[in-house]
Chain A
Amino acid sequence: MKYTQWIIFGLVIGAIWTLGFLFETNLNPYVVRVIVNCGIAMILAMSLNLVNGCAGQFSLGHAGFMGVGAYLSAAITTLLPVAFPQLSFLREPLGIGIAVVVGGFGAGIAGYLVGLPSLRLRGDYLAIVTLGFGEIIRIIFLNVDAVGGPRGLPGIPRESTFFWVYFWAFVTFLFLYRLMKSTYGRAILSIRENEIAAESMGIKVSHYKVVAFVISSFFAGIAGALFAHYQGFIDPATFNFNRSVDVVIMVVLGGMGSLSGALIGGIIVSLLPELLRMILFTMGGLPDTYRMVIFPLILIVLMLVRPVGLLGHKEIWDFFPSFKKKKGVKAHG
């Protein structure tokens, strides 16, 4: 009994590894790339969902924390071995694994520093402040010459594969799912529901806002680090305001506060433009820029038809009651 969860965990990891192996040997690199980007988007969406959906605090600076993770991990694997040749092991898979985790912690610390003063604000004000911090982080990268400034940072070892991205997506899912099903999750949800009542029931609201923000930033940093080691090249423009908005769209589309909704939102927002590209191509003649018109139209229609997002506050298994017991295995959908 005691080890059941570890066995299931191992099985899922094995399944992800097998899938990754099959995909990378059988599918064309473009398709694999789309799938991997999907996984990174899912991590971003799930992590932002904790702040925007569960805690009900509207943050618009997620790309900034992703950038912190990306730059920090890339600096560790790319710049450190150059400066100190004895640290060349950092370019090996193990070193990169460490760098990814360090990137996550760096982003978490950044989240703490940003969250502490700004989470006193609410609603629109918080959105503006987080947007501002996101931009500040980007501008810092733009002006620090050690990490390439506007030229970006090339030569990052390209070691994050399908397996590592979906491994982290699974870990993120499991972590956030279990967090939200615990007393800490209830405390975070109560902030969204009613701050005054939560405070009167012994919840230190300001503390849990920061907790949610830090955890969210941590996983954004992980996603950024994976992204950096997938692309092999990062520049400040990658982590601009548009990317923050993309993540917000994923969360809103999937349903605020729904973890599985964030997964679906992540898949749709990263997959739909690519699908539209293919559809337009097969229809012949239509320029591929049309997809950037059709995609927003689909979003608008969806929001008009279902303003709470695809799943609302619910999880996907709430719609299939008999499915409820198998929830742990859904992370690599």
Chain B
Amino acid sequence: MAEFTFEAAGLGISFGGLKAVSGFGLKIHPEGLCGLIGPNGAGKTTVFNLMTGVYKPDQGTMTLGGQSLIGFAPYEIAKAGIARTFQNIRLMGDLSVLDNVLLSYHFREPYRYIDAILHTSRFQKNEAELKDRAVELLELMGLANRKDDQAKNLSYGNQRRLEIARALALRPKLLLLDEPAAGLNSKEKVDLMHTVSDIRDRFKVAILLIEHDMKLVMGICERITVLDHGEIIAEGTAKEIQENPKVIEAYLGVE
């Protein structure tokens, strides 16, 4: 099962003179659930942007199932099997909830232009099939009854769920969640965390989670990486992290 292990080593990028991330290494096994935490400005989202091709790393290697991802554009990374959500929600606001999910099936090219223009049987069959799949996914995320609404009219919590649904529709090997619980109330947070572990079991996908809320990360993540000033300061299980003096220092300061 080692074929879709994600591995990064020595990843680094600097903006001008500022080293945003350096020497970042991470290994995520298939169906692993990992957390990435760190104080504000530690470089967590930059790591995500490196992993998804938004930024090109200055150094380092990054592979998924043995295939190098260095130099890939974001859409190529998505095809290779890494999907993500965004910290500041980036939905297609004017499109319907259903269309937002359907968009993720696009890269598999369900039919050709000519099928779409002439409404051939291939178009009708495949389009109906995609819609069924999308609705199924929306049902899982509790959004099926809102499928025809514009995405921008969803509540904040539902928008976060739609982002996850959309990322799952890519059928990724690795799902990156960027602060999925940000801005949710405590009940919604607990629900979301259940959803996250459900997703991992149901879709057999590895998950890497950025989160500020320590309790939540500690609760569900098997391994946690702590980032500060762009460098990894600790790596290990929840218990190890909690007791690590460097982590306590980064979060609470020294006496």
Contact = CB atoms under 8 A, between A and B. Distances in A.
Interface of A: 2, 5, 174-175, 178-179, 181-187, 189-190, 192-194, 196-205, 257, 313
Contacts of A204: 73, 75
Given A178-B119, A179-B117, A200 B52 contact: yes
A1 to B, nearest CB: 10
Contact of A183 (B84, B110, B119): B110
Nearest to B110: A183
Contacts of B86: 196-197, 200
A5 B83 CA distance: 39
B90 interface: yes
Contacts of A190: 92, 95, 103
Nearest to A208: B106
A199 B73 contact: yes
Please give me the 5 A-B residue pairs with the lowest Cβ-Cβ distance, nearest first: A182-B116, A202-B107, A193-B92, A202-B78, A197-B90
Nearest to B169: A201
B75 A182 contact: no
A194 B106 contact: no
B116 A201 contact: no
Given A183-B102, A202-B106, A178 B94 contact: no
B56 to A, nearest CB: 14
B163 to A, nearest CB: 9
B154 interface: no
Given A190-B103, A196-B90, A182 B95 contact: no
Contacts of B127: 182-183
B74 interface: yes
B105 interface: yes
A98 to B, nearest CB: 20
Given A193-B93, A204-B75, A186 B99 contact: yes
8 contacts: A5-B119, A174-B117, A178-B119, A183-B116, A197-B92, A201-B106, A202-B106, A203-B107
Contacts of A178: 116-117, 119
Interface string B107-119: 1011101001101
Given A183-B105, A186-B106, A190-B95, A199 B116 contact: no
Interface residues of B, number: 38
Contacts of B121: 2
Nearest to B117: A178
A199 B117 CA distance: 24
A178 B118 CA distance: 8
B247 to A, nearest CB: 30
A183 B115 CA distance: 11
Contact of A184 (B83, B116, B167): B116
B102 A201 contact: no
A313 B96 CA distance: 12
A189 B75 CA distance: 16
Contacts of B95: 186, 189-190, 193
B52 A197 contact: no
Given A190-B103, A197-B90, A203-B75, 13 more contacts: A175-B117, A179-B113, A182-B123, A183-B105, A184-B116, A187-B106, A189-B95, A193-B91, A199-B74, A199-B75, A201-B166, A201-B167, A313-B94
Contact of A203 (B99, B103, B130): B103
A253 to B, nearest CB: 19
Contacts of B90: 194, 196-197
Contacts of B113: 179, 182, 184
Interface in B157-180: 166-167, 170
Interface string B53-79: 010000000000000000001110111
Contacts of A181: 116
A226 to B, nearest CB: 20
B69 to A, nearest CB: 14
